[in-house]
Amino acid sequence: MDTQEFISRYSGIYEHSPWVAEQVADLALDVVADADAMARLMADVVDNAGEEQQLALIRAHPDLADRAEVVGELTPDSKAEQMSAGLHQCSRVEYERFQALNDAYKEKFGFPFVMAVRGSDCEKILGEFSRRLRNDYDVEFETALAQIHKIARFRLEALEGDT
């Protein structure tokens, strides 16, 4: 696989952030990388990026249980992840709670709530949402990045399973 093929294959691992795949491409092509090794390489790129680039990465994530899903603005990976947690089946009350929490979270932190939702459900996600709203900015910034790395690992494992 050449550099362009690599970038094309891995550019969606980090939501709307192909720069991660671009920066790791040459190094990753030099090693035989499984999902774990690739996850570590890509996470290292993100962890060593500047704070503005990290913030842009966090902001590239969609709100959970948001109207974006209804109008088809979610990436296929985000849609599948949210569906796996049953977010497409939220009750009206849960949906309204998600909207209120999304708004409160973005107002407090300036970026969307990010959680690796695979294997979770509406109740657990809403509970985590409420708990994390009590964090301070620095803790939540780091938590969002950790969750993004977890999402990336899930996506890498799924991609590896497709080969």
Per-residue pLDDT at 151: 96
Question: What string of pLDDT tens digits covers the 163 residues of the chain?
Answer: 888 999 999 999 999 999 999 999 988 777 656 888 899 999 999 999 999 999 999 999 988 876 545 445 667 777 777 777 667 778 889 889 999 999 999 999 999 999 999 889 889 999 999 999 999 999 999 999 999 999 999 999 998 876 5
Distances (CA, A) of 148 to 82, 91, 116: 14, 26, 7
Which DSSP string do the residues of 3-63 spell out, in sequence order?
Answer: HHHHHHHHTTSSTT-THHHHHHHHHHHTS---HHHHHHHHHHHHHTS-HHHHHHHHHTSPP
Last residue of a domain, one of 40, 55, 70: 55
Domain span holding position 30: 3-55
> Do residues 131 and 154 share a domain?
yes
For position 66, what pLDDT does the model report?
Answer: 67
Helix (H) or strand (E) holding 134: none
Contact 34, 160 (CB under 8 A): yes
CA distance 120 to 135: 21
Q: Are 64 and 114 in contact (CB under 8 A)?
A: no
Contact 87, 120 (CB under 8 A): no
Residue 71 and residue 40 share a domain: no
Measure the CA–CA gap between 78 and 3, rounded to whole angstroms. 25
In this prediction, residue 72 carries a pLDDT of 54
Statement to judge: residues 50 and 72 lie in one domain: no
Looking at the 3D structure of the chain, how many domains does it have? 2
Are 75 and 45 within one domain?
no
Domain identity same for 36 and 79: no
Q: How many helices (H) and strands (E) does the chain have?
A: 9, 0
**In a shared domain, residues 37 and 72:** no
pLDDT at 67: 52
pLDDT of amino acid 148: 98
> What pLDDT is stored for residue 71 in this prediction?
41
Catalytic residues: 61
